[in-house]
Amino acid sequence: MSYEHIFNSQVKCSQKLTPNEAIFAIGLMVMAVDGDIDMNEVEVIEGFLLKKGFTPPEVNAAREKILTIISQEKNEALFYAAKQVLQNEKEIETALDLAVEVAMADDKLTEEEDSFVMGLAKTLKISQEKVEQKFADAKKSHHDSKRLIEKIEEILSKLPIGSRYEGYIDTTTDLRSLNIKIRTPKDQLVILNIDETGDENKIEMELEGAPPWMAK
């Protein structure tokens, strides 16, 4: 499927975007190519941006603004607005990294997602080889994440009885790590940060409260 009508659009958006909002918009558009936007999947975008150094208020603001625009205007207008402000190499790289992360969020790449991300890369003047390498890195990251997820039962056994696993947020590739969402018996959402060590049978864990925007 071709998305040239989006990437070549000059349809103006009613609002200007900041680079942060533009990056969020790219992630949301990739998420939407397979159908409706799942709000649970939006957390994939939010977790990614937090890992990149965005603050919770910045993520909150971007989410609210982009969700409002996408509900009222065409994707062509949203992408044109995003493209206008994604000018420097770091911002473009972050947008592509997020696009790949969203496309691979469920550990499978659909034809629509592949077509959209490759078209996005071409529009942003990023080589096909670089995109393919990013997909390969993302696939490896998800494989490492699965190994950690297999240890969830062991992890939950160390928490208060009645704690529930509610999914993971994001992973890193340089160190095999995972951020797991846990709902406590008192209905509090907490984040369990897990790192694998050199010993595959040993893991390091740190528990912290979930940020307010996530706990809602």
Per-residue pLDDT at 199 exceeds 70: no
Boundary of a domain, candidates 140, 159, 186: 140
Average pLDDT in the 98-119 region?
86
Residue-range definition of the domain harbouring residue 76:
4-140
- C-alpha 74/C-alpha 35 separation (Å) is 14
Phi/psi for 77 (5° steps) reads -70, -40
Boundary of a domain, candidates 113, 140, 167: 140
Do residues 39 and 65 share a domain? Answer: yes
192 within a domain of the structure (yes/no): yes
Which one has a higher pLDDT value, 61 or 166? 61
Total count of domains within the chain: 2
Identify the band that residue 105 occupies on the pLDDT scale cut at 50, 70 and 90.
confident
Per-residue pLDDT at 187 exceeds 70: yes
Tokens 């992630």 appear where? 27
pLDDT digits (tens, 9 = 90+) for 60-79: 899 899 989 988 998 999 99
Do residues 24 and 109 share a domain? Answer: yes
Do residues 133 and 190 share a domain? Answer: no
* Cβ atoms 81, 13 nearer than 8 A: yes
Quote the crossing angle between the two packed helices 19-32 and 56-72, to the nearest 10°: 60
DSSP string, 152-172: HHHHHTTSPTT-EEEEEEEEE
pLDDT for position 44 = 80
157 within a domain of the structure (yes/no): yes
Q: What DSSP designation does 31 have?
A: H
Boundary of a domain, candidates 117, 140, 163: 140
Per-residue pLDDT at 174 exceeds 50: no
pLDDT for position 173 = 43
pLDDT for position 175 = 44
pLDDT for position 203 = 64
Per-residue pLDDT at 85 exceeds 80: yes
CATH number for the domain including 75?
A: 1.10.3680.10
Q: Is the pTM of this model over 0.85?
A: no
Tokens 């990149």 appear where? 52
